[in-house]
Chains A and B, each alone.
Chain A
Amino acid sequence: MHIMEGYLPWQWCLVWFIIALPIVFFGIKKITQVIRENPEQKMIIALSGAFIFLLSSLKLPSVTGSSSHPTGTGLSAVLYGVSCTAFLATIVLVFQALLLAHGGITTLGANIFSMGIAGPAAAFFIWHALRRAKVGVPVSMFFAALVADLVTYIVTALQLTLAFGNATGYGTAFIDFMTIFAVTQIPLAFIEGIIFSMFAKYLADTRPQIFGLEPKCEEAASA
């Protein structure tokens, strides 16, 4: 989903920066507040961030003949919400833009919006809808991570369509960008969903309080 350096007209770079930056700053504030109030949360925040680091570095092949990477934002979106995820995603995107020449500084705002805001917002919504419907943690997490991944790439396709659609018509441009980004992403989003589902099950079994579940009797006895 990385829009490469220089590949977005500067007006659009500006627009996405203006939208993304306040959310990132709010995220910094929120994370500092969470850590100050509950220092034990530091570990879980680090864990959520580590998943973004790990998964967004894995380039996986897809059925369309190109390769792309998962986003890893599902866990953080579900546990800490959109703004915190936007901040964690920013760290990863800056790392990739500076060290890997992957993505870019000028397109950072647009990339933060797709990976750190739009995808996580969709995940957050799906997670809460499913949990309210009493769906289990692993299944809810599967769909949250899958949707976070897929929506990120759909939004990238949308961003490029908005910027370049007037040349050939918005419909054609959108189909082209969707084929490159979103269709490639479908199997990868599925894989990401499974990875997160397994980890969510592990967390729900060993640290149920993370998901707001009742601790098991053994832990309750020791508490």
Chain B
Amino acid sequence: MKITDKAFYFLGFAIIAAMVVGILAYGAANGFEFSGADDQGGDAIAEIDPSYEPWWDGIWGSYELPGETESTLFALQAAIGAIIIGYIVGYFHAVDKARKGKLLKKQ
């Protein structure tokens, strides 16, 4: 059986959606908090080697960005990526359309 293009994309999105919903539902049932793995890495270091002290706090020092601001900045990063992808896909689409139009005229 050959999978059509539409079915391929539909299946892809469906699997991703099902996985995310499944993971969230599983997490809700188990009371998971879904904290960041990067932070957990830091906690694990403290556990494995309690004598280790982080030797630099970085340019922000101990100041932590408010949760809302951090989300905004993450959204900004995602937006930069998404805008570029959207622009290029749109550009490709327009070029193809123009080329097809020219071909039809020739015929």
Interface residues of B in 34-55 (CB under 8 A from A): 34-42, 44-45, 47-49, 51-52, 54-55
The verdict on A130 contacting chain B, using a C-beta distance below 8 Å, is: no
Picked from A43, A97, A187, the residue with its CB within 8 Å of the CB of B23 is A187
Selecting from A28-36, A99-107, A117-125, the interface stretch reads A99-107
- Check A214 for interface membership: any CB of B closer than 8 A: no
The A contact surface, by secondary structure, is helix
**Which residues from chain B contact A59 at a C-beta distance below 8 Å?**
36, 74
Residue B1 interfacial (CB < 8 Å) = no
A58 interface contact, C-beta 8 A: yes
Partner-binding segment picked from A17-25, A78-86, A143-151, A200-208:
A200-208
Given contacts A207-B92, A218-B103, contact A62 B23 (CB under 8 A): yes
Closest to B56 in A: A6
**Alpha-carbon separation in the docked complex, A50 to B81 (Å):** 4
Across the interface, do B37 and A67 meet the contact criterion of CB distance under 8 Å?
yes
- In the complex, which of the residues A5, A65, A172, A222 contacts B27, with contact meaning CB atoms closer than 8 Å? A65
**When chains A and B are docked, how far (Å) is the Cα of A13 from the Cα of B72?**
29
A14-66 with Cβ < 8 A to chain B: 43, 46-47, 49-63, 65-66
A7 within 8 A of B: yes
| Inter-chain contacts of A102 with B (CB < 8 A) | 38
Q: Determine if B45 and A160 form an interchain contact, defined as CB atoms under 8 angstroms apart.
A: yes
CB-contacts of B5-28 with A (<8 A): 5, 8-9, 12-13, 15-16, 19-20, 23-24, 26-27
B57 within 8 A of A: yes
A150 to B29, CA, bound (A): 26
A126 at the B interface (CB under 8 A)? no
**Interface presence of A158 (CB below 8 A):** no
Q: Are A43 and B88 in contact (CB under 8 A)?
A: yes
* A98 contacts B78, C-beta separation under 8 Å: no
Q: Establish whether residues B49 and A101, one from each chain, have CB atoms under 8 Å apart when the complex forms.
A: no
Decide: A65 near B32, CB < 8 A? Known: A4-B42, A190-B19: yes
Contacts A62-B37, A168-B48 aside, 19 further interface pairs with beta carbons under 8 A come to: A4-B41, A6-B58, A10-B55, A50-B84, A50-B85, A53-B80, A61-B34, A62-B23, A65-B32, A98-B59, A100-B73, A100-B77, A101-B65, A160-B45, A181-B37, A195-B16, A198-B9, A201-B8, A205-B5
B37 nearest CB neighbor, chain A only:
A68
A51, A100, A103, A173, most chain B CB atoms within 10 A: A100
Within 8 Å of chain A (Cβ to Cβ): is B102?
yes
Contact A105 B103 (CB under 8 A): no
User: Does B33 sit within 8 A of A, measured CB to CB?
Assistant: yes
The 6 A-B pairs at the shortest CB distance, nearest first, are namely: A54-B81, A6-B54, A53-B81, A65-B32, A5-B58, A50-B84
Closest to B77 in A: A57
Enumerate chain A residues within 8 angstroms of B40, measured Cβ to Cβ: 66, 180
Q: Enumerate chain A residues within 8 angstroms of B23, measured Cβ to Cβ.
A: 60-63, 187
- For A44, the closest partner residue in chain B by CB is B88
Docked complex Cα distance between A138 and B27 (Å): 31
